[in-house]
Structure 1
Amino acid sequence: MKGALSMPWRLVLFTLWYIGQVLKSASQVSHDIVTPGREATPRVVRMPAQSTTDAQLTAIASLITLTPGTLTIGVVEREGGRDLLVHSMYDPDRDTAVHHLREMEARMLNAVTIKGGYRA
């Protein structure tokens, strides 16, 4: 689905998906709080951002921070783009954490840009 006419529909679908992710993450954090032991595997990962504008980068950083169990720490400039530093609590390894973050960013960019076509 690409083009300006599909943007409202893509935005609604992304919003529903994101709400599901927040609920899923919140239940994971809640479960970890009320049960003995720890399921958390905290780590800081560096995610190369596909976002090209400051507004897009701010939006994905905010969405990551609003999701329970993740926190955007900062932005690092690199040749050819920018990376987000993200603290992740429940991904088993770095690659999985980056994959989940890139999936969220691709879904957001597909929802808020006219051309769409972003991939995780």
Structure 2
Amino acid sequence: MTTKSINEKYCSACGALISAQAEICPKCGVRQSPTPFPGNLGNLAPNGRSRLAAALFAIFLGSLGIHKFYLGRVGWGVIYLLLCWTVIPGIIGFIEGILLLIMSEEDFNAKYGND
């Protein structure tokens, strides 16, 4: 796996590593949308999932497991939903939200971005 430098980004369609200033991916030819705000929290994984959105879901709606459904972990989402009357999913969801915020973009893409 290649590491992304500060002057590179992932293609929104094929996930290839391209220049951060590229308007069109040289590999697949898809026009790249501009990043909504600076920093790597606004970047999307190749499948369209956002690390920032997942973290916010986990922090604010973690007791219902919304972040698990968003990340494609439906089984875990159901477990969180069944246990939402306890405080345990809320605490775990808050911790997972913090972990998602400090997780690197490469780790997020590897774990949740390719399905």
TM over 0.5: no
Q: TM-score, normalised by structure 2?
A: 0.28
Structure having the higher helix fraction is 1
Which of the two has higher C-alpha Rg? 2
TM-score normalized with structure 1 length: 0.27
Structure 1 or 2: more strand by fraction? 1
